[in-house]
Amino acid sequence: MDIENKVFQQFSNLMFRSIITNFETSQQANSAYICSPPAGRQASFFMSKKGKVLVAMSGGIDSTITALMLHDEGYEVVGITMKTWDYAASGGSKKETGCCNLDSFNDARQAAVEHGFAHYILDIREEFGGFVIENFVEEYLAGRTPNPCVLCNTHIKWRALLKRADALGCEFIATGHYAKIRQHDNERFVVSKAVDDTKDQSYVLWGLQQDLLSRTILPLGPYRKTEIRQMAFDYGYPELAKKSESYEICFVPDNDYRGFLKRNVEGLEERVDGGNFIDKNGNFLGKHKGYPFYTIGQRKGLDIALGRPVFVTRIDPVSNTVVLGDEEELEQNEMLVGKLNLIKYDLITPGMEATTKIRYKDKGALSNIYPENGSMRVKFYAHVKGIAPGQSAVFYEGDDVLGGGIIQSGVLNK
């Protein structure tokens, strides 16, 4: 990290420590501001007929508009910005970006102050790092491809929000995710797809349990992203409307997960370097840099020339072996999914038809799903490519999320 970035990180950390609010030790958990409201403007503490809602505010356009929409609809809004990670601690080469930098905190706080509602900053770095990041590293070391955003939503962010909502007397929690929640006729709460297919985030919410869903509001589900950008202009935030979106993992903002693993697992490179590339028949093809640095379906960055495009089709962490094959060798038609969370129904009828997505941008494929000893066996109608253990599989009935889980294995049955 260069000197400029080191100075920036030190300044950011100093400023963060100076404004952090700790809910567990604060003696004034219901005094709203971590800074004073503008002259002549008072915090709007009132008894709302719609209730009190704790809104996760990252400082980005979606969460900001979520808070402002709910405020205008008559909810008593309390904003909260969560600090999940210090990028300086990872030894990366970039300044902090996305949801965990000082600018984002200030953007969220400014919107709250200007509209007269409460705002807190919450430090959850310890619980985040102790669960999400450890799992991220462990999964790659096990030869799997994790999805940390799903894990974070399921086990950290929503639980942290609910805990603080209870402390602040908030009936609801809200986020800027593009998805919908409603109560089904069977009284269960159901996640369904957003109106904007290009922004739909229902896939990453499969892990939310009923106690969380019953108290969650997702105002952006009925809107398209273009409409949200227009709202930002209308609210007087033209820069926010033009603000670029962050798609990388928050604790790997340079998008170099391999570098992250090398920096956080002592001696990893020396331990795994020099493993074998082989084909499906076990024939030696060449040497690789270590099995954790490859993912199922990967074609680019293999640093091997075989005269034709080849893909990673299997990873064996025990022997440090990576299997390469043609694109059709990625095709499978059955998989086992574990660590299930069912949403729409509490039980699944064996053989029920569902559209199953095996990655975030996947359109989904028709399948039959079969409960099996706490897991779900999925049999696709047609071959699908790139089933990757560690990734999430999400089952849909129309636009509704039936549930989801973590892919354990995939096979091709002929």
Measured distance CA(189)–CA(347) in Å, rounded = 14
Kind of pairing between the strands at 400-411 and 331-342: antiparallel
Q: Which residues are catalytic?
A: 152, 250
252 phi/psi in degrees, rounded to 5: -135, 60
User: Which of the 8 DSSP states describes residue 246?
Assistant: P
Closest to 298 in 3D by CA, of 352, 257, 353, 357? 257
Neighbours of 29 (CB within 10 A): 16
- CB-facing half-sphere around the CA of 338: CA atoms within 13 A: 6
Neighbours of 105 (CB within 10 A): 25
In the chain the first and final C-alpha atoms are separated, in Å, by 52
E-assigned strand segments in 255-363: 276-278, 284-287, 311-316, 321-325, 331-342, 352-357
CB distance 60 to 176 below 8 Å = yes
User: Which of the 8 DSSP states describes residue 129?
Assistant: I
Kind of pairing between the strands at 321-325 and 311-316: antiparallel
CB distance 388 to 407 below 8 Å = yes
H-state helical runs in 116-265: 125-128, 134-141, 148-152, 158-167, 210-213, 225-234, 238-242, 257-264
164 Ramachandran zone, left/alpha/beta (phi>0; psi -120 to 50):
alpha
Measured distance CA(323)–CA(24) in Å, rounded = 50
CB distance 261 to 268 below 8 Å = yes
CB distance 94 to 87 below 8 Å = yes
**Radius of gyration for the chain, computed over Cα atoms and rounded to the nearest angstrom:** 23
Residue 345: helix, strand or coil by DSSP? coil
Q: How far is CA 270 from the centre of its chain?
A: 31
Residue 365: helix, strand or coil by DSSP? strand
